[in-house]
Amino acid sequence: MKKHKLAARVEQIAPFQVMAILARAKALALQGEDVIHLEVGEPDFVAIESVGKAGMQAIEEGNTGYTSATGLPELKSAISDYYASRYQATVSPERIIVTSGASGALLLMASLMVDVGEEVLMPDPCYPCNRHFLVQVGASAKLVETEASKGFEMDLEDLSKNWSEKTSGLWLASPSNPTGAVLSKEYISQAWQKVQEQGGHLLVDEIYQGLVYEGEDFSALSIDDDIFVINSFSKYFAMTGWRLGWLVVPEWAIEGVTKLAQNLFISAPSVSQHAAISAFTPEVLEECEERRQIMNIRRLVLLEGLEQIGLPIVAPAHGAFYVYVDVSNVTDDAMAWCLALLEEEKVALTPGADFGIKDAQKYVRFAYTCDGPRLQEALSRIARFIAT
């Protein structure tokens, strides 16, 4: 009898630890328990009403067929205009590749720029799926240790020490998942200079762009046209299930990425693209800004509450909707602590092991994706759990 065998790459992809927590949280909710979800990176907002109506209009008008592999021209122009007006960055529509979520953009990026056997430098901690997209193309990530005392920023002076003949490039994120830290324009500029010296590429993940509360909200595209940038409609525009993102590439990479998009995806969802065009209207952007202010209020509630219950915040939570917390004063196993907290107090959090290796057992990610009263209730439950 033939033995069933999966591709070897499957074994190299680690499951999310938070999925075990999420599954248990859902099971508890089905049993009637009041579970507070601070584990999943999805706010309690949905797409703004006019965006949803634009999607429904696209269906009613029959605009549901394939689009160009790189996206609707009207949407690409709207994104280009957005970069110019908000971030003073000149980005031609031709350089914008609309994708099936930022995940589609990451897969395109890995396929476009990284060869079999190569590696990409990333800070530890970082978003775990980035590593797994590299595995799909026969490459790997090299996690570079960072220090909590330095906001988990990779030390650029050590970049050359970690760069080898196998290194293809450097992938950064700002605002960061899981830490919520925001990199400065000066830092990105220095990183780009050092990457150029090594002959590699630089990717900046900007999917939480717009959700900045302290520091400058800018795009790396305002620094140099040869920097690759990924973005998404999921976070700032609250269009998670619409599965729409984009990748900005230099002009010299347009032909290559277009071929890949044609073969890997055909096109991003057409209804989502038609809806997203309306996301850049002044009315929608104004409402997105109001939501950003709400998220900032939640952030401050959580930061103050965590300080009061004695859980140290180890990174400057200046963006996205995450706070990275050191729980080593109450446990030596963050995963076990998260599971026990869920069972006893019905609060769901994400353990640090999903995001990195160094000292991962010390950290937990909080997502302030529910309203202020629920955050206060969660903090009360956590304080009670710590006290027992």
SS3 content of the chain, % helix, strand, coil (to 5): 50, 15, 40
pLDDT in tens, 12-69: 887 777 788 888 999 999 999 999 999 988 889 999 999 999 999 999 999 999 999 9
Share of the chain above pLDDT 90, in %: 91
- Residue 291 CA: distances (Å) to CA of 138, 179, 241, 301, 317: 40, 20, 18, 15, 17
pLDDT in tens, 106-152: 999 999 999 999 999 999 999 999 999 999 999 999 999 999 999 99
pTM of the model: 0.95
Which class is domain 8-46+284-387?
Answer: alpha beta
pLDDT in tens, 184-198: 999 999 999 999 999
Amino acid at 342: L
pLDDT in tens, 336-349: 999 999 999 999 99
Q: Report, as an integer, the average pLDDT of 325-329.
A: 96
Domain ranges of the chain: 8-46+284-387, 49-281
Domain 49-281 matching CATH 3.40.640.10: the answer reads: yes
CA distance 46 to 169: 35
pLDDT number for residue 265: 94
Share of the chain above pLDDT 70, in %: 99
Q: Indicate if the pLDDT at residue 275 is higher than 70.
A: yes
Matching residue, tokens 């696209």: 58
CA distance 277 to 56: 13
Q: Report, as an integer, the average pLDDT of 77-103.
A: 97
pLDDT in tens, 201-255: 999 999 999 999 999 999 999 999 999 999 999 999 999 999 999 999 999 999 9
pLDDT number for residue 15: 76
- Confidence band (pLDDT; 50, 70, 90) for 1? low
Average pLDDT, the chain: 95
Cβ pair 17, 354 in contact under 8 A: yes
pLDDT number for residue 374: 96
- Give which of 211, 359, 228, 192 is closest to 292, Cα–Cα: 211
Residues 6+ apart with CB under 8 A from 369: 37, 38, 40, 41, 42, 43, 44, 321
Q: Report, as an integer, the average pLDDT of 317-321.
A: 97
- Give which of 110, 311, 319, 296 is closest to 208, Cα–Cα: 319
Helix (H, G, I), strand (E, B) or coil at 169: strand
